[in-house]
Structure 1
């Protein structure tokens, strides 16, 4: 109760007294408060926190920030009624705090701690519970730092995210964000930017400062973005390499080395937005050859001239699954390190062996309140493969039935963001189990509800 009261006091304080600053970034290290050296406001504690000069020239400075998030969730028939059940609900809390040190134009160091707690959660996973860790700790060396040309070398523990976050994401939806230990080279010139990186995934544990990078899970690759391209506006081209020593799929277990090559086309006009992506995966798993793929389209049209500015959107995905158990091939797609709430925050299933059709409608009830309603229809792509969680753990095997229908999901969200510092969300999800789910387990329908309160500073 004390934590909730403290959060309420902080919410009121920031909502009433904090002056306006640029919007917070999903990647907090992308924020830049150097403009405050020209700010004439005196005796402002928040300004001092965001820009604390360490030299008379103000070229050396440190910036502090963070976020506090509380969530209450209630789930009836979690995992379709299989496994431990909780009839009382549970509370997730997450605390992120960071310090960002800048030494002129050519060096910076960024450190961030994370504490993710799960109160009342039955058998919490590392995605929910991670008491205290050094989430990020890296140094940037700005070899070239000009307006239209940059070359930056980053070394240390860091968050990674690319494109639509279908393969590499910060995993902000779940309670515990993910990070990597590695080195990254970032380049840009005019409208073209590119990253080259090599990293090891940081494994979360339930102790204090005991997270460590894993040699068992490695990620490397390159990612290029071309902006202001003719007609298509923006295009991404990428290669991602992945190695896991202990992989497991419906068709067996063993060492996995997987390569992903893909492209993404995306853009936005006054009314339209679009995002299309296709990629192919190859490599080897145990003694099998990998040949997997996915293609998706996400488009929406916003009626700006109508009241509440309704937007109609549609998303469709086809994601390959294994064709035959026991042969010398594996066609199961691996989403690598995706955002956790891939098909909504209920996080029922992950993007593997799936066909998904997803219409939605959203309304801007006011400048600070949005209402979203979406409906998802799921089928297995291959009747010989099972379905998987977002972390590729097999939920149900593929041989329980030849039926492909997984189920339908109805979700609604009411989001209120009164200012850049505060965020509230009320949500509800109902998942109607299909024939495959009913044949594979208890097969009950899922109801999921939650409320989120977040403070950014």
Structure 2
């Protein structure tokens, strides 16, 4: 099976893919791709916007991604030498079909397959999912009047808002995150309002065994209001409710019903100056106790008009953690976020205060370079760190069993380069170096600095 997958990959390296494709492929403009699509030296037809009947069109596409990863002291050597100095190979394949019937109906489906070879520890759900139906949903489009459009989407689907800080399709990992439910989009030139009810997908590693997690759900309203006369920006107020049958934190656990009230303000015209500010407050209950948590995030960047077009970036976060002196839970729940700290650092921005310095540059049109430094600390010494999506990662107790009074988690250095070979074959290389701060040294026996190298090649058609 492995040889078949590798052979299939090298065959597709001879394919040229053109057109404008999106990270979530259901958002592709399939009509735009019709004359600028997959070309191979065979009698096969074009695969986009194929007319199969009167007013009916079918588009087919997909993705192949190969990753090679090397860890030295993964997760600060939490598993000893089990995965130390090991190279793992990760392969991901996706194939989708988009069927439109007239101007009002569409069906989108996507199958997904992910494999991992080389790790000593058991395969993680973020690494392997042999074969499953990743997305399948039905869209209904209608015009309420001349200025208002409505889309109703029902089924299994990807979602992402606010740069993925609360929920995201999570592209960096070998498997992606999807949700089951219903979503509506109401659009006009003055605003867009999305409303949704979702259950996260519960992933397993075998064939067609993924299912919705009905013990957890979330619903909410997310609005986008253009402020063209104020820095060409968008204002995004949002209200969310999340329910978890058994939420587990370091100081409390139980049935959780949590509300998130948030406001994001960000610039849409990114050159040369850009900003993104997000503030959220959470209330609700866990068991018999109340919840009050908060999240403050800010980012500014500036693109210099000099060779290589470097963009300087400064970002910070201040996210609440729990203080054990009260019965009120103060840990912020980031729900189902993207891998904010990349693949090397398996934590989410909860009980965190950090500052990030970065620079992006483009020495040639197809080559993008990125360098970042993350300085990360705990916000509350009474709480630990959490892994995506809100699992227990690093305890708040020291090696001796007492409450750890250390707060410096680590400094992470991030170097990355991506090269767009041809048009939709992309090559990438990332190197991360992560120090072990006094908190890690105080809570993890024999902790060590982490080195991580990830290289990938991706084709999308």
CA change 1:322–1:99 in 2 (3 A) is same
Structure 2 equivalent of residue 155 of structure 1: 154
Superposition RMSD in Å: 2.2
CA change 1:36–1:369 in 2 (3 A) is closer
Structure 2 equivalent of residue 234 of structure 1: 234
Q: What is the aligned residue count?
A: 447
* 8 A contact 1:320–1:331 mirrored in 2: yes
The correspondence for 2:436, drawn from 419, 433, 436, is: 433
Spell out, residue by residue over 1:14-44, the C-alpha distance to the aligned partner (whole angstroms, 9 max, x if none).
Answer: 2xxx5x42x21111111122246789x9999
Q: What are structure 2's unaligned runs of at least 5 residues?
A: 399-403
Q: What are structure 1's unaligned runs of at least 5 residues?
A: none
Distance (Å, rounded) in 2 between the aligned partners of 1:312 and 1:348 = 26
Spell out, residue by residue over 1:118-173, the C-alpha distance to the aligned partner (whole angstroms, 9 max, x if none).
Answer: 11222222111111111111101113277842111111111111121100101111
Distance (Å, rounded) in 1 between the aligned partners of 2:33 and 2:169 = 28
DSSP-derived class of the 1:164 partner: helix
TM-score by length of structure 1 reads 0.93
Distance (Å, rounded) in 2 between the aligned partners of 1:120 and 1:127 = 15
Once the two structures are TM-superposed, the CA of residue 45 in structure 1 deviates from its matched residue by 6.5
Structural mapping, 1:284-433, within 5 Å:
284-304=285-305, 306-324=306-324, 327-339=326-338, 341-400=339-398, 401-433=404-436
DSSP-derived class of the 2:215 partner: strand
Once the two structures are TM-superposed, the CA of residue 353 in structure 1 deviates from its matched residue by 0.3
TM-score by length of structure 2 reads 0.92
Structure 2 equivalent of residue 183 of structure 1: 182
DSSP-derived class of the 1:12 partner: coil
Once the two structures are TM-superposed, the CA of residue 210 in structure 1 deviates from its matched residue by 1.0
Structure 1 equivalent of residue 12 of structure 2: 10
* 8 A contact 1:342–1:390 mirrored in 2: no
* 8 A contact 2:179–2:200 mirrored in 1: yes
Tell which deviates more after alignment, 176-185 or 46-55. Answer: 46-55
Once the two structures are TM-superposed, the CA of residue 269 in structure 1 deviates from its matched residue by 4.1
Distance (Å, rounded) in 2 between the aligned partners of 1:147 and 1:38 = 30
Structure 1 equivalent of residue 401 of structure 2: none
Distance (Å, rounded) in 2 between the aligned partners of 1:420 and 1:296 = 34
DSSP-derived class of the 1:89 partner: strand
Tell which deviates more after alignment, 250-259 or 3-12. Answer: 3-12
* 8 A contact 1:347–1:390 mirrored in 2: no
Tell which deviates more after alignment, 287-296 or 262-271. Answer: 262-271
Once the two structures are TM-superposed, the CA of residue 418 in structure 1 deviates from its matched residue by 2.8
DSSP-derived class of the 2:15 partner: helix
Q: Are 1:211 and 2:210 matched, yes or no?
A: yes
Structural mapping, 1:52-71, within 5 Å:
52-55=50-53, 57=54, 59-71=55-67
Tell which deviates more after alignment, 372-381 or 42-51. Answer: 42-51
Once the two structures are TM-superposed, the CA of residue 240 in structure 1 deviates from its matched residue by 1.3
Once the two structures are TM-superposed, the CA of residue 226 in structure 1 deviates from its matched residue by 1.2
* 8 A contact 2:72–2:86 mirrored in 1: no
Structure 1 equivalent of residue 73 of structure 2: 77
* 8 A contact 2:322–2:382 mirrored in 1: yes
Structure 1 equivalent of residue 87 of structure 2: 89
Spell out, residue by residue over 1:385-434, the C-alpha distance to the aligned partner (whole angstroms, 9 max, x if none).
Answer: 11111222122222322011111111100111134411111011010110
Once the two structures are TM-superposed, the CA of residue 92 in structure 1 deviates from its matched residue by 1.2
* 8 A contact 2:436–2:448 mirrored in 1: yes
Structure 1 equivalent of residue 282 of structure 2: 281
* 8 A contact 2:34–2:48 mirrored in 1: no
DSSP-derived class of the 1:83 partner: coil
Structure 2 equivalent of residue 444 of structure 1: 448
Tell which deviates more after alignment, 5-14 or 365-374. Answer: 5-14
CA change 1:356–1:38 in 2 (3 A) is closer
Distance (Å, rounded) in 2 between the aligned partners of 1:350 and 1:149 = 38
Distance (Å, rounded) in 1 between the aligned partners of 2:6 and 2:207 = 23
CA change 1:7–1:37 in 2 (3 A) is closer
Once the two structures are TM-superposed, the CA of residue 83 in structure 1 deviates from its matched residue by 1.9
